[in-house]
Each structure stands twice: as C-alpha cells, then as structure tokens.
Structure 1
C-alpha cells in the first residue's frame, strides 16, 4: 500500500457509461480514490450512496470521486442505475490497480478465507501524491471524514 507522501500509482481504467479515466489526466485536481469489494452488496451500496449524496460538496472543493472494484463495466452500470449513483465507477477486472494500491489480499468471513478487495480510500493531491489514506474503511461517517480531508488540502 503506498504511504502518505508517495506518488500515487498512475492508471487508466474503463468507466461505467463509456470511456476511460487516467489518474494523471485529472491533475491538478485532487482525487478521492475509493476501493470497494463488490457492486450491489450492503456496505458497498451504502458507501457509494454516501459519496453520491455528497458529490456536489466534493466537486465544490475541486475533487474528483472515483470508485474502483473488480466488477465488470456491465455490473457497474446496473449498480449505478439501480441505486441512482453519481460516483464515477471504474472497472479493474484484472486487479492490477488493486494490487498497485495494496488493497487486494486474503480476507476472512464466516470462518472462510478468500481473496478480495479490502475497503480502502486514498486522497490524492493535485501533484499526484497520497495526501491521506484510510486502509480499513468503516462505512458510517466515512464520506464526511474524507470531505473534511479534501477541504483541508
């Protein structure tokens, strides 16, 4: 996982709705990059709805919101439509970006071990450096905490 102060690993990923997003192309705007395990699951839905509800505030602070999971573009598009989401969702189907950010790894649930995405968020400043990282996100209040960090940049 990249440390605060390090350069954020650059990437280009396809986005729901068409086209691609490159992290480096968003400079000098700050970027909120949040990784979540899976479309249309309770925690992931809540997290995306919370960011959607606050999207105007993030935009007013000059920040881009990018959500990343290994789900397909088709899955993202169904998720966006079903829950009326306004976050930009990127598909990392091959997991390269998840690995670059250190969020892909072994997880345990209900006594079973499996590989998956750890819910994590990175605030990337206008120079492309990690300004703040939340390595193990708890969803309630998270979007508000991230917005405060964006405003403090």
Structure 2
C-alpha cells in the first residue's frame, strides 16, 4: 500500500477514521529523511493494514505546530485516534516491524478513544519513564494508555 500525503484538510479524518495510523513528518531537504524514506515506504508495502501517512514539514506548518514537531524526521503512531508514540529519528526495517507489531497489539479503552476523537487539537502528551515500553531498540517510547 502506498503512503498517503496528509494535510490539514485530511489529517483528522485519517487519524480518527482508521484503527492504526503511522505519521511520518519529513522535509524535502532533510538528509536523515532521505535515509528513512525507503524504510517507511517498505513498511507501507509490507503492512497494508496500517495506514502510513506523510506530513511535509515545510508545507503543513499548522499540523507541525499542533504536533509540536521540532526535529526531523519524526514518526508518530495513533491508535483509534489517540497519539501513542512520538519519536524523532530514523529506524531500520526491523525496528519498523517491531513498531507495527506493538501498534497492532496496543489496546485503548473505549472511553479514552472517544476522548481522543473529540479532542479539538492534536496533543502530544509526554511519557513518564516508568510508563515506557522497550522494543527492539530504545528508539521506541510508548505513551501512557490513559
């Protein structure tokens, strides 16, 4: 499955209208983004059940600001409309596979999912160290389930 370009016009519909969504924030002149792009595209092809969206840092400043993205590339994961991961940096294919596996297994309480869907803005809560979940690399930091 090809990646989907996300804009201010379709972001909320995509994130809230799908069970699991990965969002990759990139920029045209970002060298690390160029390194990570083939891995992200490969993940999209390998895992068509997970929506793989892309946000252009330069043209989608409203989304970038709402998500408080400061470094590129940044990867975010949403489960039932709730932000469950936000991490800057690049990942190799094995880490991406692990991320997808965790995203598939991640459970959100229905009340939390409903609250996320009604939120007026994208929020990026901070995980506390005792609530992080290790994965294939320390690259992954999962946000609290509540």
TM-score between both structures, scaled by the size of structure 2:
0.55
CA distance in 2, matches of 1:102, 1:129: 15
Once the two structures are superposed, what CA deviation does each residue of 1:90-133 show, in whole Å capped at 9, x if it has no partner? Answer: x41xx1111111113xxxxxxxxxxxx4432111112x111222
Size of the alignment, in residue pairs? Answer: 99
Name structure 1 gaps, 5 residues minimum.
1-11, 15-19, 72-90, 105-116
Distance 1:132 1:21, change over 3 A: same
* Aligned residue number for residue 35 of structure 1: 25
> Equivalent residue of 1:133, what SS?
strand
Of 106, 113, 120, the residue aligned with 2:74 is 120
CA distance in 2, matches of 1:25, 1:32: 10
Larger helix proportion, structure 1 or 2? 2
Matched, 1:55 2:44: yes
Once the two structures are superposed, what CA deviation does each residue of 1:35-72 show, in whole Å capped at 9, x if it has no partner? Answer: 12x2254321221110111213321xx2111111234x
Matched, 1:13 2:7: yes
Matched, 1:67 2:33: no
> Equivalent residue of 2:84, what SS?
strand
Name structure 2 gaps, 5 residues minimum.
1-5, 107-146
Q: CA RMSD in A?
A: 2.5
User: 4+ runs of 1 displaced by more than 4 Å?
Assistant: none
Deviation (angstroms), 1:34: 1.5
Distance 1:97 1:45, change over 3 A: same
Bigger relative contact order (CA 8 A; separation at least 6): 1
